[in-house]
């Protein structure tokens, strides 16, 4: 999966911390992270081809399913995310944005795990 970024190194490091993944490749224009060298797909953060700024909701986003939603929200906000309102209303998940504004969700704790 490829994610356009204004600062690929910064965004890759954010997501590597969130997911507890490792940086496997890094150049001036792209950074690849993955769980390990045998687990794919990874995430590739590449330099966006133009200086556009994100203006609409992502068409694709990640959902995280933690054991403790509140603790995970607090941890991820501490890494640089922020809680946002995209009109989701009163739902069981929390919507956040990464440092470049890409939305993702932290789901409520599911009974019995995943």
List pLDDT tens digits, range 20-74: 999 999 999 999 999 988 887 899 999 877 667 767 777 788 999 999 999 999 9
Counting the structural domains of the chain, the total is 2
One domain, residues 114 and 68? yes
Provide the whole-model pTM.
Answer: 0.86
One domain, residues 37 and 79? no
Taking 80 as the threshold, does the pLDDT of residue 113 lie above it? no
Token pair of 34 as six digits:
């993955």
In which domain, by residue range, is 110 found?
61-114
Write b or e for each residue in 19-52: b if 16 or more Cβ atoms lie within 10 A of its Cβ, otherwise e: eebebeeeeeebbbbbeeeeeeebbbbbbbeeee
d(CA 93, CA 46): 28
Neighbours of 2 (CB within 10 A): 11
Taking 80 as the threshold, does the pLDDT of residue 15 lie above it? yes
For the domain that residue 13 is a member of, what is the CATH number?
Answer: 3.10.180.10
Residue with tokens 């001036």: 28
């Amino acid at each position: 999966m490829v994610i356009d970024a204004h600062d690929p190194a910064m965004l890759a490091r954010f997501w590597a911390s969130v997911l507890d993944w490792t940086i496997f490749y890094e150049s001036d224009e792209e950074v690849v992270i993955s769980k390990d060298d045998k687990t794919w797909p990874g995430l590739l953060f590449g330099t966006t081809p133009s200086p556009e700024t994100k203006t609409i909701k992502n068409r694709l986003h990640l959902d995280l399913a933690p054991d403790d939603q509140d603790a995970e929200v607090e941890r991820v906000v501490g890494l640089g995310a922020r809680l946002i309102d995209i009109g989701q209303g009163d739902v069981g998940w929390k919507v956040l944005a990464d440092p470049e504004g890409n939305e993702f969700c932290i789901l409520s704790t599911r009974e019995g795990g995943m």
